[in-house]
A = this chain, B = another copy of it.
């Protein structure tokens, strides 16, 4: 994703801090494997270090915490899902939500995402990273759907934040209560309300 590339200061980093693509990929693959096998409970920099055959200092040089590493693993997986506006915000949101839920449901990513949100409740650094980097990057596509609808005049620009919050919260409610199957029926209704062309 563009935002991720822009956020990786490869050029400006010192040689020591520069990411070696091969070991970086090995560490991310090890992190994914640890998550898939042991879930978040068994996920630690120690476990990833053993699995990757990489020293902990190497891992910590690139990711400053377990949450940081988790966020990058999640981001790489999530990049598979893209949302492109078709001209109908309600339909676009419905399709994107179904894709997102299938992704959460069918991969360890749902549990990873829940773990990240949980981690952010007790670790201020994780919360700051979630709010200021992770969420803005992950939500670029969805924000684009709302921006396109506003550009078409379908929704007021000044309501994008509130509608986006409704969208995010709706998904969080179902994933955090582990009700992604039962919640399917609510998706079209909720997305229609979020996309409604109301002006007060």
Contacts and interface: CB of A to CB of B under 8 A. Distances in A.
Interface residues of A, number: 43
A166 B190 contact: yes
Interface in A163-183: 163, 165-166, 168-174, 176-179, 183
Given A162-B190, A166-B194, A196-B193, A177 B41 contact: no
A115 B122 CA distance: 8
Q: Which among A127, A185, A193 has the highest number of chain B CB atoms within 10 Å? A: A193
A162 B177 contact: no
Q: Which among A127, A166, A190 has the highest number of chain B CB atoms within 10 Å? A: A166
Contact of A118 (B122, B135, B165): B122
Given A40-B122, A193-B194, A186 B162 contact: yes
A119 B176 CA distance: 11
Contact of A165 (B114, B131, B163, B190): B190
A130 interface: yes
A198 interface: yes
Q: Which among A118, A163, A192 has the highest number of chain B CB atoms within 10 Å? A: A118
Nearest to A119: B118
Contact of A169 (B40, B161, B166): B166
8 contacts: A41-B122, A117-B117, A117-B121, A161-B185, A165-B170, A165-B174, A166-B190, A192-B198
Given A166-B166, A166-B190, A169-B172, 4 more contacts: A40-B122, A163-B193, A165-B174, A172-B176
